[in-house]
Protein backbone atom coordinates (compact mmCIF):
# COMPACT_ATOMS: atom_id res chain seq x y z
CA UNK A 1 0.00 0.00 0.00
CA UNK A 2 1.24 3.46 -0.78
CA UNK A 3 0.74 6.56 1.28
CA UNK A 4 0.01 10.18 0.41
CA UNK A 5 3.45 11.81 0.31
CA UNK A 6 1.81 15.25 0.26
CA UNK A 7 0.11 14.55 3.58
CA UNK A 8 3.38 13.19 4.98
CA UNK A 9 5.14 16.42 3.93
CA UNK A 10 2.48 18.52 5.65
CA UNK A 11 3.01 16.50 8.83
CA UNK A 12 6.79 16.93 8.57
CA UNK A 13 6.36 20.68 8.12
CA UNK A 14 4.18 20.92 11.22
CA UNK A 15 6.46 18.78 13.38
CA UNK A 16 9.51 20.76 12.33
CA UNK A 17 13.01 19.79 13.38
CA UNK A 18 12.09 18.27 16.74
CA UNK A 19 14.89 15.74 17.47
CA UNK A 20 12.43 13.50 19.34
CA UNK A 21 10.51 12.85 16.10
CA UNK A 22 11.32 9.85 13.94
CA UNK A 23 9.70 8.16 10.96
CA UNK A 24 9.10 4.49 10.31
CA UNK A 25 7.27 2.62 7.60
CA UNK A 26 4.56 0.46 9.16
CA UNK A 27 0.99 -0.70 8.53
CA UNK A 28 1.68 -0.21 4.82
CA UNK A 29 2.12 3.50 5.42
CA UNK A 30 4.35 5.92 7.27
CA UNK A 31 4.36 6.45 11.04
CA UNK A 32 5.71 9.47 12.91
CA UNK A 33 7.07 8.60 16.34
CA UNK A 34 7.79 10.78 19.35
CA UNK A 35 10.62 9.36 21.49
CA UNK A 36 9.95 5.99 19.85
CA UNK A 37 6.18 5.99 20.45
CA UNK A 38 3.83 6.33 17.52
CA UNK A 39 1.95 9.63 17.47
CA UNK A 40 0.45 9.93 13.98
CA UNK A 41 0.76 8.21 10.64
CA UNK A 42 -0.38 8.17 7.05
CA UNK A 43 -2.15 5.20 5.47
CA UNK A 44 -3.25 5.84 1.91
CA UNK A 45 -4.59 9.39 1.99
CA UNK A 46 -5.82 9.21 5.58
CA UNK A 47 -4.34 10.26 8.89
CA UNK A 48 -3.93 7.76 11.72
CA UNK A 49 -3.78 9.35 15.18
CA UNK A 50 -2.93 7.85 18.56
CA UNK A 51 -5.22 9.70 20.95
CA UNK A 52 -5.16 7.32 23.93
CA UNK A 53 -8.00 5.27 25.40
CA UNK A 54 -9.45 8.11 27.48
CA UNK A 55 -9.77 10.43 24.47
CA UNK A 56 -11.12 7.91 21.97
CA UNK A 57 -14.82 8.76 22.31
CA UNK A 58 -14.22 12.51 22.00
CA UNK A 59 -11.96 11.95 18.99
CA UNK A 60 -14.55 9.76 17.29
CA UNK A 61 -17.14 12.53 17.72
CA UNK A 62 -15.05 14.85 15.53
CA UNK A 63 -15.77 15.16 11.79
CA UNK A 64 -14.14 12.55 9.59
CA UNK A 65 -12.89 10.33 12.43
CA UNK A 66 -13.58 6.62 12.69
CA UNK A 67 -12.12 3.74 14.70
CA UNK A 68 -8.74 2.39 13.61
CA UNK A 69 -9.65 -1.13 12.54
CA UNK A 70 -6.62 -2.61 10.80
CA UNK A 71 -7.01 -6.22 11.94
CA UNK A 72 -10.77 -6.61 12.13
CA UNK A 73 -10.78 -5.53 15.77
CA UNK A 74 -10.95 -1.78 16.45
CA UNK A 75 -7.98 -0.50 18.45
CA UNK A 76 -9.11 1.71 21.33
CA UNK A 77 -6.94 4.78 21.62
CA UNK A 78 -6.41 5.09 17.87
CA UNK A 79 -8.52 6.79 15.19
CA UNK A 80 -8.33 7.24 11.44
CA UNK A 81 -9.24 10.64 10.05
CA UNK A 82 -10.44 10.92 6.47
CA UNK A 83 -8.55 13.06 3.98
CA UNK A 84 -11.32 15.66 3.66
CA UNK A 85 -11.26 16.26 7.43
CA UNK A 86 -7.55 17.22 7.36
CA UNK A 87 -7.51 19.19 4.13
CA UNK A 88 -7.17 22.43 6.11
CA UNK A 89 -3.81 22.98 7.83
CA UNK A 90 -5.44 24.03 11.12
CA UNK A 91 -7.44 20.79 11.39
CA UNK A 92 -4.38 18.70 10.53
CA UNK A 93 -2.26 20.58 13.08
CA UNK A 94 -4.83 19.94 15.80
CA UNK A 95 -4.81 16.19 15.16
CA UNK A 96 -1.00 16.08 14.97
CA UNK A 97 -0.71 17.97 18.24
CA UNK A 98 -3.13 15.60 19.93
CA UNK A 99 -1.18 12.55 18.77
CA UNK A 100 2.16 14.07 19.73
CA UNK A 101 0.86 15.07 23.17
CA UNK A 102 -0.31 11.53 23.89
CA UNK A 103 2.95 9.98 22.68
CA UNK A 104 4.97 12.51 24.69
CA UNK A 105 3.23 11.30 27.84
CA UNK A 106 4.50 7.74 27.34
CA UNK A 107 7.88 6.45 28.52
CA UNK A 108 10.51 6.81 25.77
CA UNK A 109 11.45 3.66 23.89
Q: Which domains does the chain have, with CATH numbers?
A: 5-104 (3.90.1150.30)
pLDDT mean for each 10 residues of the chain (109 residues): 92 95 92 97 97 97 94 91 97 98 96
**pLDDT score of 43:** 95
Give pTM, 2 decimals: 0.94
Helical (H) or strand (E) element with 10: helix 5-15
Sheet holding 75-81, edge to edge: 21-26, 29-34, 37-43, 46-50, 75-81, 65-68
Beta strand ranges found along 6-103 (DSSP E): 21-26, 29-34, 37-43, 46-50, 65-68, 75-81
DSSP letter (8 states) at residue 39: E
Amino acid sequence: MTFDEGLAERIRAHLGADPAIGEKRMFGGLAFLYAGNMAVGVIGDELMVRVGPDATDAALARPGARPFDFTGRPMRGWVVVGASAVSEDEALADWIDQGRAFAAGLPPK
